[in-house]
Structure 1
Amino acid sequence: MNRMVSMLVTPYARIKSPPLFFWLLLSYMTIVALLSSFILYSVFFYRGHVKDEVITYNNLNLTNTSDNYEAKLNLIKNSVLSFSMNDRLAALDKPTFDYTAGGKLIDELQVFLANQSLYLDNMIIYFKKSDVAIEKSRGADADVMFQRYYNSSDYSYDYWKTQFDRPYVSRILPASAFSEYDYSNRQLSSSKLLPIVIKNKTNPSILIIAFADAQRMYNDFHQSITDDFYILDNAHRSYFASAGGGLEDIPAFDGQSRFVKEGSNYYFYKKGPSSGLTYVNVIPNDNISQMQWNINFVMLLALAVVLSLLASFLFSLRLRLPVKQLVKAIQLLTTGSPWRKHSAIKEFAIIQEKVRHLLDSNMDISHHLEEKNSLLRHYAYINQLKNIRTNAGHLKDLIKSNQPYRVVLFKLTFRPMLLEEIGDEERAALFIRDYINNILTEQYPESLTLQLECDQLLSVIYSDEAASSLDTTLEGVKTVLELDRSYCFSTMAVSSRYEHPDDFKHSFEQAKSMLQLRKFNGTNQVLREISDAKLTNYYLMPAQEEELNACLTNGNEPQVMQFVKRELAALRKKDATEHEASSFADYLVDRTKRAFIVNQLDGELLRTMQAQLQHCHAFEELEQLFAEWLPRLMDLIRSKKEKKDHITSFVFDYLEQHYAHDITLDMMADKLNITRSYLSTYFKEKTGTYFVDYVNLIRVGRAKELLSRSDVKIQDAAARVGYQNINSFNRMFKKFTGVTPSEFRKVERA
């Protein structure tokens, strides 16, 4: 009986598991034995087979690559040769080029190039008699085409002229970089293309140049473990090279063996039966090296095993000492108690039992920490600001009664450089929040700073001091944030002084509305309440708007650029807010979009410019963006003017004059003497916009002008632009502007 009591009081005596040292040493020795066995097995059973397998693999891989290239080149030749038999080509081969018929040929060319399986980037048809060349998106004089749109240091305009006299039907030329330049000789794009020249004997004065995407073919066809790949002709000239090595490094191909080993590389060859080109794949010798079995290897393996066993012993012994000391310390802290299930390792079993005893004794400790009130305040503020219904009494309890406070709202604007180098806006915002919280709590101990959005922070500052003290603190924060202005800048809006908790929501709304008054200069700013500040949207007088619409619709670049420079200068002179500058940019984009719809143009280029507008935060950046993009947009419009469609032109003109009347798709179809379904499909295909959406777009634009310039009631404005139902007008206005008519007018009158 006394023996049993003794065992219960002293749990250590009941633990008969082997010590930790034994388990560690056994585990390490087992790992060493397994690894040694695996190495020996690999040497015995795989020695001598690795090299043959790798060589076979690379031969098969190069064969697949060459077969894919040969099949694709033959498909391109046959397809282009079939296209060259088009009767329209012979009809256009005259001294005077018919650009109307050429436009139809461009449409056929676009359909032909839409076949992705041909791997064709573009195709140029060169008419010798008229010296005109056309491709999928344009036609131009041959010298302009080859010197501006498809400029290459290897293939000049004179080079292509000489190809008419060469005696061949098809020919593959070495790949080269082809670049496009704008009017100011600035490079716009560059692609590595593989020219394939086709000449039809029935039309000897027509040259067809198909440009295969060399890089795309390489990415799809070449599946080797290395990227060192070449395509050569019989004269050892390079037709394509994926790596930076020179041709002088590649040994000559003897035509018999499938590979050659020279220096530190293996060179695998495969000659295409159709094209006559030679495909070369270079594999470093390191990838095909064979395991060698010799005395040095045996000695190194034995030494490694001995050292591993010795290291296992020493490490196990070293790890056992602190664990043993830890077990003794825990035994001194607690008394023995009956044991439940324990670990198979003696030391861990003791630690497990004693830690369980400590956890059980502390399980009922209070779960309410000192930070609970702070967390509740955070959630209450956020719920209130997010318009979540909460109990107002809770908010009063969290905000200190009868203690004056101010709200500071921080709006963070992240620049593209931050995304490129850091790539995490959330982490940057947390870092800035922690910095601001440390500064404010040091000056105002009871202040609270929380994050509302990824780019929005809110601080509630309790202080009886004058506003100048807070201004000094915020100016210091502003000075520090200026150091990282290339990555991020902030706008700090300071509310008025309030004392009652019920005014908290009003103070937040005040600070939020002040953010829209930041100046358009891309710097850190501190905004304070300005009684006479007004938020206005940009608009033009009717005559000015008609003139701008005419310039945009006709692609009048000089007039449009003059207008933009004049308006930006006026905004800069009045030190306009960011809202006013953005309103001007949105206005110009909206008018340009309508010009694109009128001219039936794809708006992808315009959407790209619109996306870049989000990163413009100063007049210099806005001027640079418009100077870069507007000439390109106007150039597209001018090019499209030559293909004006009479159906859509009639619809556009009629809607501009009769938008306030009752307009239906059936009525417009009757006026054009076509069916309703045909007009609907035709208008959507040509403009990218549904007929009903375009009608509403015109009407909402006119309604915005009425609401901006006069005191016309919303109901009257809706009736003037053709809406008899006010609910329909409100729904369409919010769909196209993002706000309701009343919200729009509120901003205009602010």
Structure 2
Amino acid sequence: MKMIASLLRFPYTRIKSPSLFFWLLVSYMTIVVLLVSFILYSVVFYRGTIKEEVIAYNNVNLNNTMENYEAKIQLIENAVLSFSLNEHIAALDKPNFDYAAGSKLIDEIQKYLATNQSLFLENMIVYFKKSNVAIEKTRGADADVMFKRYYVSKTYGYEFWQQQFDNLYVKRILPNAVFSELAFTSKRVSERKLIPIIMKNQTTPSVYIIALIDAQKMYKAFHQSITDDFYILDDEQRSFFATVNSQQSHFPVLEGSHGYVKLDTNYYFYKKGELTGLTYVNVIPDDSIVSQMKWNITFVILLVLSVLFSMLVSFLFSVRFNRPVKQLVQSIQQLTTGFPWQKHSGIKEFAFIQERVRHLLDSNFDISQNLEEKNSLLRHYAYINQLKNIRNNAGFLKDLIKSNHPYRVVLFKLTFRPQLLEEIDDDEERATLFIRAYIDKILTERYPDSLTLQLESDQLLAVIYSDHAEHKLAETLDGFRIVLDLDRAYCFSTMAVSKRYEHPDEFNLSFEQTKSLIQHRKFNDYNQVLWAETESKLVNYFLMPAQEEEINASLNNGNESQLVQFMKREIAGLRKKEATEHEVKAFINIVVDRTKRAYIVNHLDAELLQTLQSRLQHSHTFEELEHLFEEWLPSITNLIKSKKEKKDHITSFVFDYLENHYAHDITLDMMADKLNITRSYLSTYFKEKTGTYFVDYVNLIRVSRAKELLSRSDVKIQDAAARVGYQNINSFNRMFKKFTGVTPSEFRKVERV
């Protein structure tokens, strides 16, 4: 009966627990089936949606083309209107034309076209009605000569240009036409396809400007399509512009402002511009869309072959992987049941596994004996792991701190000199490891239960169990200080000692206490020991209004002597009151921030400033700080002074106005009115000259001033926002985080730590 039961159980066991070979083969086959299913689904889905995707793609391309054309035409109109305000134009508007003054206008046109090449302007013609004279970039002539010889067009003759004085409008965009020049042999030369835009200024109605746009250059810059069959139509669907290869003379009815229409074998994608009222049309042949939906027989054959090959490889790999695992299982079964090992496998990896299994079994007894030592090591790593998350949850440390045993936490902050980092290839962690080994050796000799952990590449944490004998701990830390003083040229430290605690739940408090205490370190390169019992209030450094005005004036004017005197006076004051490293760093940050703003205002290369910031990070004494400023400030002021000689009047006015009125309501329109230029021109000009958008620069100035106010404990966040020009606290919070990376409340917490 037992034999029959065992035979009945055997198939059930095989079915319930399949072999590794079975699972490997099923897994690989499943992956192959999933990949094939995904490929087939992708192909079917692709065939079903390719037409919609191609249509959507062409709609997006045409929309981009339309937006680029509309934006560029608006920019050209604004630019030409701005040029029409040129004082030479008004002065020349008289019956007797002054050709000497006209030559200056020619120079102005040449200069304007050279500096605005991105507008695609081939030329600008200024037509004076009173004197019947036309001026362009290379010459001035009577209007009939200009339009009958130099700018000849079958579409726009001399009479057409005369009639434009009688038509009442401010601007007019004309369909493109071919303009050419007549040689002495009456042969047309220098033919080019141009789009004329007529701009009139109401202050001088007897003068208008013809801006000639290079139609082909604009088309090549903005057209995005797989074909070159592109048109621009007016309201009556007459051709306003057509590419060289375009042959279309009749268009289907285009209803609405955008969409597409299929007629015969072509798709007509169209989009109407809101600014000009022109309709942009792109013609796509039907075969370029339908051809994407056909099955590819080569793809099908390759897919079938790939599936067959994948199935074969899956089977062979499963067999090869299963064989050594099966042998390994058999060997372990023989070893654990007392049977001798079989002969070593011919496979190198399997033979190695056999040897390691024997070694692990033989070492089992030794591991049991050394369990206590391993538990101690585990406790050490548990401390490190929990300390990484101490800000979020310190409850895990209850089991690691001995209950009812008084303890103190000592945080070691190490500062490495550049010469040491060069010798050890910037490997701070390796240097910290050596110092940790020394500190741990001394502490375990005097306090057997103490732990010394490495938190960061430059931070150590020691947990010391001791009674009320603080003098003994003070002697120990003083001994560390004396030893570390021997290598002060390479490294110095700050040792922050927490108060005495007993309960494990207070570990988080003690650790945070040492981190706060580190901020009270005096600014020098000596090894310092800081005790929680002597902790004083942390002081922030900020500039008084007079100091603010002095440093800004010195930087903006490149006044080296005044700037050096300011630095020496402030450093002397900090040295006299033995300022903390936190306060000195705040002073350095203010100086660097003001210098950055001076660099932006004067469009200077920031490489010199970046080098100065890097050197400041490794300055740890007042002498080093003074020497560094004396070395670098002349270079900085010389750069600023040389740049002041090439002062840009527009950007300088903006900088000066914002510096004095940043708390007021400031808009781009208001600033453009003050400069008597257009809003779009000021926006483009300011971005090109400074690399920064006008709105971003306004917010940069305001956030910088807000940082200074928040450094003072007597100013509320809402008051700081209002004082720098933000009436909405949400806008202030959003802009502050954009430029600093933290919210105002987070910034204030960091400043007060």
- The Cα shift of 1:419 comes to 1.8
Q: How does 1:194-209 map to 2 (within 5 A)?
A: none
TM-score between the two structures when normalised by the length of structure 1: 0.51
Partner of 2:645: 642
Who is 2:544 aligned against? Answer: 541
Distance (Å, rounded) in 1 between the aligned partners of 2:610 and 2:355 = 67
2:413 is aligned, of 389, 408, 411, to 411
Contact 1:534 1:749 in 2 (8 A): no
CA distance in 1, matches of 2:631, 2:354: 73
1:12-57, Cα deviation, whole Å (9 max, x unpaired): xxxxxxxxxxxxxxxxxxxxxxxxxxxxxxxxxxxxxxxxxxxxxx
Q: 1:427 to 1:569 in 2, by over 3 A?
A: same
Q: Which residue of structure 2 lines up, in the alignment, with residue 529 of structure 1?
A: 532
Summarize deviations over 1:265-303 as a string: whole Å, max 9, x none: xxxxxxxxxxxxxxxxxxxxxxxxxxxxxxxxxxxxxxx
Structure 2 counterpart SS, 1:485: coil
Is residue 517–residue 535 contact of structure 2 (8 Å, CA) maintained in 1? no
Of 597, 602, 606 in structure 1, the residue corresponding to residue 605 of structure 2 is: 602
Query: Match for 1:341 among 316, 340, 343?
Result: 343
Instruction: Return closer, same or farther for 1:667/1:371 CA change in 2, 3 Å cut-off.
Output: farther
C-alpha displacement at 1:742, in angstroms?
A: 3.1
Q: 1:625-650 deviations in whole A, cap 9, x for unaligned?
A: 10110010000111111111111111
Match of 1:553 among 551, 556, 568: 556
1:345-356 matches, cutoff 5 A: none
Offset, 1:379: 3.0
For residue 499 of structure 1, give the secondary structure of its aligned residue in structure 2. coil
Letter in 2 for 1:527: L
Measure, in 1, the Cα distance between the counterparts of 2:708 and 2:576: 24
Matching residue's letter, 2:745: S
Aligned to 2:459: 456
Contact 2:384 2:455 in 1 (8 A): no
Aligned residue in 1 for 2:668 = 665
Note the C-alpha offset of 1:658.
2.4
Assess if the C-alpha contact under 8 Å between 2:540 and 2:712 holds in 1: no
Partner in structure 1 of residue 399 of structure 2: 397
| Structure 2 counterpart of 1:438, one-letter code | K
CA distance 1:469–1:689, shift in 2 (3 Å): farther
What SS does structure 2 have at the residue aligned with 1:600?
coil
SS at match of 1:538: coil
The match for 1:506 among 496, 509, 520 is 509
2-side partners of 1:734 and 1:352: how far apart?
56
2:496 corresponds to 1:493: yes
The reply on whether 1:620 has 2:623 as its aligned counterpart is yes
The offset of 1:711, in angstroms, is: 2.7
Deviation per CA, 1:409-450: give whole Å up to 9, x if none. 011111111121111211111111111111111111111111
The answer as to 2:593 corresponding to 1:593 is no
**2-structure distance, mates of 1:562, 1:736:** 31
- The corresponding residue for 2:130 is none
User: Structure 1 pair 474/637, CA: closer, same or farther in 2 (3 Å)?
Assistant: same
Task: Write the deviation string for residues 650-673 of structure 1: whole angstroms up to 9, x where unpaired.
Answer: 111221232123323344344434
2: CA distance, partners of 1:596 / 1:501 = 53
Structure 1 regions of 5+ residues with no counterpart?
Answer: 1-107, 109-333
AA of the residue aligned to 1:450:
L
Instruction: Provide the rounded CA distance (Å) in 2 between the counterparts of 1:602 and 1:685.
Output: 15
In the other structure, the counterpart of 1:584 is: 587
Q: Are the counterparts in 1 of residues 498 and 511 from structure 2 also a CA contact under 8 Å? A: yes
Q: Is the 8 A contact 1:536 1:747 kept in 2?
A: no
8 Å Cα contact 1:597/1:688 also seen in 2 = no
1:499-538 superposed Cα distances (whole Å, 9 cap, x missing partner): 1111111111111011111111112111112556222222
- Alignment RMSD: 3.3
Q: Alpha-carbon deviation of 1:597? A: 1.7
Q: CA shift at 1:408, angstroms?
A: 0.4
Unmatched tracts of structure 2, length 5 or more: 1-113, 115-335
CA distance 1:340–1:516, shift in 2 (3 Å): same
Of the structure 1 ranges 665-674 and 403-412, higher mean CA displacement relative to structure 2 is found in: 665-674
Give per-residue Cα distances to partners, 1:124-175, cap 9 Å, x unaligned. xxxxxxxxxxxxxxxxxxxxxxxxxxxxxxxxxxxxxxxxxxxxxxxxxxxx
Q: Secondary structure at the match of 2:666?
A: coil
Separation in structure 1 between the aligned mates of residue 358 and residue 614 of structure 2, nearest angstrom: 62
Does structure 1 residue 698 correspond to structure 2 residue 701?
A: yes
| Matches of 1:687 and 1:614, distance apart in 2 | 28
**Aligned position for 2:373:** 370
State the AA in 2 paired with 1:507.
S
Q: Which amino acid aligns with 1:729?
A: F
Change (3 A) 1:676 1:445: farther
Partners of 1:716 and 1:728 lie apart in 2 by 14
Identify the residue that residue 518 of structure 2 maps to in structure 1.
515
Structure with more contact order per residue of length (Cα contacts < 8 Å, sep ≥ 6): 1
Mapped to 1, the partners of 2:580 and 2:439 lie a distance apart of: 25
What is the identity percentage for the equivalent residue pairs of Structure 1 and Structure 2? 71
Mapped partners of 1:439, 1:623: distance in 2: 39
Call closer, same or farther: CA 1:586–1:444 in 2, change over 3 Å: same
String of CA shifts for 1:300-351, please: whole Å, max 9, x gaps: xxxxxxxxxxxxxxxxxxxxxxxxxxxxxxxxxx999544132789xxx999
Give the Cα–Cα distance (whole angstroms) in 1 for the partners of residues 355 and 710 of structure 2.
77
- Given that 2:380 and 2:453 are in contact with CA atoms closer than 8 Å, whether structure 1 keeps it comes out as no
How does 1:151-300 map onto structure 2 within 5 Å? none
Relative to structure 1, is the Cα distance of residues 452 and 707 closer, same or farther in structure 2, using a 3 angstrom cutoff?
A: same
C-alpha distance in structure 2 between counterparts of 1:465 and 1:591, whole Å: 50
Does residue 438 in structure 1 map to residue 441 in structure 2? yes
CA distance in 2, matches of 1:689, 1:536: 35
Instruction: Find the residue that maps to 1:534 and give its secondary structure.
Output: coil
SS in 2 for 1:510: helix
Helix, strand or coil for the counterpart of 1:435?
helix
CA distance in 2, matches of 1:350, 1:731: 64
Q: Normalised by the size of structure 2, how large is the TM-score?
A: 0.51
TM superposition shift of 1:497: 0.5
Moved more, 615-624 or 375-384: 375-384
Equivalent residues in 2 for 1:68-107, closer than 5 Å = none
2:738 corresponds to 1:722: no
User: Does 1:421 pair with 2:423?
Assistant: yes
SS in 2 for 1:370: helix
Tell me, in whole angstroms, the C-alpha distance in 2 between the residues paired with 1:667 and 1:722: 15
Residue matched to 1:713: 716
Q: In terms of Rg, which structure is larger?
A: 2
Quick one: distance in 2 between partners of 1:607 and 1:690?
A: 23
1:446-482 deviation line (CA, Å, top 9, x unaligned): 1111111111111111111422111110111111111
- CA shift in 2, pair 1:466/1:690, >3 Å: farther
Q: Write the letter of the residue equivalent to 2:401.
A: I
Q: Write the distance in 2 (CA, Å) between the matches of 1:385 and 1:507.
A: 15
Q: Indicate how the Cα distance of structure 1 residues 734 and 350 shifts in structure 2: closer, same or farther if over 3 A, else same.
A: closer
The answer to whether the Cα contact below 8 Å between 2:398 and 2:504 also exists between their aligned partners in 1 is: yes
Instruction: Provide the secondary structure at the position in 2 that maps to 1:484.
Output: coil
Q: Is the 8 A contact 2:394 2:505 kept in 1?
A: no
Greater Cα offset, 605-614 or 595-604? 595-604
| d(CA) in 1 for partners of 2:462, 2:386 | 15
Partner Cα separation in structure 1 for residue 506 and residue 384 of structure 2: 13
Give the aligned length: 416
* Partners of 1:359 and 1:387 in 2: CA distance: 37
What is the Cα deviation at residue 551 of structure 1? 1.2
Residues 632 and 514 (structure 1 numbering): CA distance in 2 closer, same or farther, change over 3 Å?
Answer: same
Tell me the secondary structure at the aligned position of residue 446 of structure 1: coil
Give the letter for the 2:564 counterpart.
M
CA contact under 8 A between 2:737 and 2:744: conserved in structure 1?
yes
CA contact (8 A) 1:383 1:389 kept: no
1:443–1:671 distance in 2 versus 1, CA, 3 Å: same
Distance (Å, rounded) in 2 between the aligned partners of 1:690 and 1:489: 45
CA distance in 1, matches of 2:596, 2:394: 47
